[in-house]
Structure 1
Amino acid sequence: MIRTRTNRTTSTSTRAITPLCTFTKRLLPLGLALVCLISAGSSLAPAPASAAVTAAPAKNVVLLDAASGHAFVPSRVLTGLDGLQIQWDASRQRLTIAQGEATTAILQVGSAKAEVNGEPITLADSPFTEAGATYVPLQFISSTFQLPAEWDKTAGSVRLGQGDARLTLPYANRGAASSTGAGKAIISERKTYKVGGRSFTVQQVTISLMDPKVHLMVALAGDTVGKVEELSSLAKRHKAVVAVNGTFFNAYTNDAYKAPYGYIVNGGELKMKASGDKRTIFTYDSNLLARLIPGADFNEAFAAGTMEGALQAGPRLVVNGKVSVDVKAEGFKDPKILTGGGARSALGLTRDHKLILLTSGGATIPQLAEIMKQAGAYQAMNLDGGASSGLYYNGKYLTQPGRKISNALIVTYQ
């Protein structure tokens, strides 16, 4: 079944890593969230040109001022949200935000002086431009136009508006939305972690998902379900900086068709269906707001129309910063999955919207979970392992697979 998306509006050597983002249904009130926020970011597709102030970056993100804790939203995402319309006067650097005939606000970039329905007011924070977008104070927009803003601390995101037009945006510290360059946005390390008295040397690549030049793709071998291809070939074909093997597949059949096991979504289209499968799924939207969800939640999440990519594997390794492995709940039946050691691949998400891709040799699933926790993952899951385990970075293998693979998660930097 193919379906098109709808309603779219993203310790040896060092070079640094940090903690995660993912998914929860518990949302925090606006006032409380402004006090306890962390950092993170990336988000939705651009609004109409009238809402754009300058050349739009690839992603939208709510920015936080580290000193005050105040939040700012890109003005371009407001168009059409709860009836809001934006007009931009480039010569005066002035924004007019209207909600029908009821409320009109006029704001000036760099000025705390504003007008609401013709009456002068003083803003707590001035609008500003950063990374190709104009940002306005979220508290002002929320209170003036009665725009709901719900904070999800676990996911590092903000949900704006109500009904079908709601947007979910990542949040990040101010200054973090600018492109940092590939050398800082994508970092490769060879590290050693100690688990239960044993040392594991791993290959690890950490990617800043909020960087506007970072993009993800769930790629199929030969661009076709059921084919296999060398990981390096797949990576080079898509001009990837990073590639890691993806979900399980039928590697041992003599048939030409080697079926992948689990949901696969690429470009908003469902490429592989796995109804009833309980294993963990890695998903992301067009702004690379990423999360890990149970297999049972896939249909509802996909129906929302914002899923850009997805890859199902499992088992889950880390939940909210704690090791959490429950193979029976995910439908794994082989008892050796917990006790057997071997080549492993895993992915993790940090609280500040970084993606950790990691390969290790000889680890059991519980040991891999501890490794991912130590690596800084706030959420993490296992990928296909054994001879499939492979990690490609910057034109060469960090870990070379022992066979051709069915699918991969790839990272490009454009």
Structure 2
Amino acid sequence: MKRTILLTILAFLCLIPSSFAASTVKNYVLVDTKSSQAFIPVRLLSEFTDTVVSLNAAEKKIQITRGETLLTLFTNQATAYNNEEKVTLKQVPFAENGTTYVPLQWISESLGLSVKWDKDASSLHISYNDDSVSVPFITRGSIQAAASPIVSERKTYKVGSKSFSVQKVTISLLHPKIELDVALAGNTIGKVEDLSSIAKRNKAIVAINGTYFDAYTKNDFKTPYGYIVSKGEIKKVNPTENRTIFTYDKNSLAALIYGQDFTEKYEQGSIEGGLQAGPRLLVNGKVSLDVKNEGFRDPKILTGGGARSALGITRDHKLILLTTSGATIPQLAEIMKQAGAYQAMNLDGGASSGLYHNGKYLTTPGRKISNAIVVKYQ
């Protein structure tokens, strides 16, 4: 009897599509450039209250139920049904990399969803009553076309009459094997550790130093400054600062927000990781510096030059991690713009500045550090 029950359970599990079984799968909207139509992962709809999604792989049938509405679609077929009403779709559902996609326009109109596009964040906000979700959008086929999800290179950028040699690592955030995390030295607030050790302990292929910390205290406890969030949990709180915070959600939708906006964003439950540093360098592709308003008073930030670390976000959801030396904050902003960032912020610098990739340093820090942004390749 037990064997029969076990076999029944296993048979049932085998019917669950892999896209539903994997909790770490990223949701994003695909935009077809030929038709200008958008497609959403059908599993995304199950995040809305009282909405049930079911797939029948054998019949290639997709059913979406909410209240008295039953939508029936078929992969690679234009015929669909809204309850008993037969409909001919302009764009057909399809399966790609284990995920089933359905046409956004017909689905949103049929279910009464509100859709708002944010071109600056390259994201789509979908809402219904009190439920809402934001997901990144990309061009269909762009992830598959990428030669590698992680690219390391040394580049030279000229700002005014001065040339800067930089180390740059670019990560495709939406690639299914890429995972971000914010790591603490020794997994504890107040500890310090070699950047390479943090990377290896977290099984990361890329790591860059994170936010500022009390590096010059003689005490063993060296507190980091600003918010630090890892795996959805706030590890360090600093509610008084307005410094910029790098955040990302479970779909690897990354953003830069100001400190005063953090609490509201975090309470929405979407932030998976975050790190507060600053100052902000770029806003929507333009140099945007308001250093004093972010609370900085140190001449090293206001006027001085030195070793710098920075991160940038591109319009097509790539993360740029960059280190250079001898740059002022305005010069660093120009460098990040030339590097292809659309949004960018400064990280801790000086002796903390370090960049690690594929088992070795591209830029070696001059001291142990408190925290880091790490990139894992699963």
Q: Which TM bucket (shorter chain)?
A: over 0.9
Q: Is the 8 A contact 2:296 2:302 kept in 1?
A: no
SS of equivalent residue, structure 1 residue 96:
strand
Q: 1:91 and 2:58 equivalent?
A: yes
Matches within 5 A, 1:233-312: 233-312=197-276
* Shift, 1:266, TM fit: 0.6
Q: Does structure 1 residue 344 correspond to structure 2 residue 308?
A: yes
The 1:141–1:177 alpha-carbon spacing in structure 2 relative to 1, beyond 3 Å, is farther
> After superposition, where does 1:67-78 map in structure 2 within 5 Å?
67-78=34-45
Name which of 326, 331, 349 aligns with 1:367: 331
Q: TM-score, normalized by length of structure 1?
A: 0.85
How far residue 106 of structure 1 moved from its aligned partner, in angstroms, is 1.1
Give distance in 2, aligned partners of 1:336 and 1:390.
Answer: 17
Aligned CA distance change for structure 1 residues 300 and 112 (closer, same or farther; 3 Å): same
- Counterpart amino acid of residue 392 in structure 1: Y
Q: Return the offset for 1:84.
A: 2.4
**C-alpha separation in 1, matches of 2:45 and 2:290:** 41
SS state at 1:161 partner: strand
Amino acid at match of 1:61: Y
Q: Secondary structure at the match of 1:92?
A: coil
The residue identity in structure 1 corresponding to 2:329 is I
Structure 1 residues 137 and 389, CA gap change in structure 2 (3 angstroms):
same
Instruction: Look up the equivalent residue of 1:153 and give its one-letter code.
Output: K
Identity over the aligned pairs, expressed in percent?
60
Alpha-carbon distance between aligned partners in 1 of 2:19 and 2:360, rounded to the nearest angstrom: 40
- The 8 Å contact of residues 19 and 25 in structure 2, kept in 1 or not, is answered as no
Counterpart-to-counterpart distance in 2, 1:295 and 1:308: 16
Kindly state the Cα deviation for residue 275 of structure 1 after the two structures are TM-superposed.
1.5
SS at match of 2:105: helix
Cα drift, residue 179 of structure 1: 9.2
**Bigger CA drift: 375-384 or 149-158?**
149-158
Q: Secondary structure at the match of 1:95?
A: strand
Distance of 2:175 and 2:248 partners within structure 1: 14
Name the CA shift for 1:150/1:400 in 2 (closer, same or farther; >3 Å).
Answer: same
Q: Is the 8 A contact 1:98 1:105 kept in 2?
A: yes
Q: 1:349-378 CA deviation, whole Å, 9 max, x = no partner?
A: 000000000000100110000000000110
Aligned to 1:35: none
* Structure with the higher strand share, 1 or 2: 2
Distance 1:388 1:286 in 2: 28
Between Structure 1 and Structure 2, how many residues are aligned?
Answer: 363
Are residue 126 (structure 1) and residue 68 (structure 2) matched?
Answer: no
Q: Residue type of the partner of 1:195?
A: V
SS of residue in 2 equivalent to 1:166: strand
Partner of 2:101: 135
Which residue of structure 1 aligns with residue 46 of structure 2?
79
The CA RMSD measured in Å over matched residues stands at 1.6
Are 2:280 and 1:316 aligned? yes
Decide whether the 8 Å contact of 1:284 with 1:309 is kept in 2. yes
**Structure 1 residue corresponding to 2:75, chosen from 97, 109, 121:** 109
Q: Distance in 2 between matches of 1:112 and 1:82?
A: 27
- After superposition, what is the alpha-carbon deviation per residue over 1:8-43, rounded to whole angstroms, capped at 9, x for unaligned? xxxxxxxxxxxxxxxxxxxxxxxxxxxxxxxxxxxx
Q: What is the 5 A alignment of 1:154-169? A: 154-169=120-135
Match of 1:5 in 2: none
Is the CA contact 1:82–1:147 (under 8 Å) kept in the aligned structure 2?
A: no
Distance 1:351 1:53, change over 3 A: closer
Bigger Cα Rg: 2
**SS state at 1:232 partner:** helix
Matched, 1:231 2:195: yes
Unaligned runs of 5+ in 2: 1-14
- Residue 171 (1) aligns with residue 137 (2): yes
| One-letter code aligned to 1:71 | A
Q: Aligned ranges for residues 353-392 of structure 1 at < 5 Å?
A: 353-392=317-356
Look up the equivalent residue of 1:68 and give its one-letter code: S
Q: Deviations over 1:261-289 (max 9, x none)?
A: 11100111111011110110000111110
Counterparts in 2 of 1:250 and 1:80: CA distance versus 1, 3 Å: closer
Deviation of 1:98 after TM superposition, in Å, equals 1.9
Q: Say which SS state the counterpart of residue 142 (structure 2) adopts.
A: coil
- The Cα of 1:161 is off from its aligned counterpart by 2.1
Q: Which 5+ residue runs of structure 1 have no aligned equivalent?
A: 1-48
Q: Which has the higher contact order (CA 8 A, sep 6+)?
A: 1
* Cα distance change of structure 1 residues 177 and 104 upon mapping to structure 2, 3 Å threshold: farther
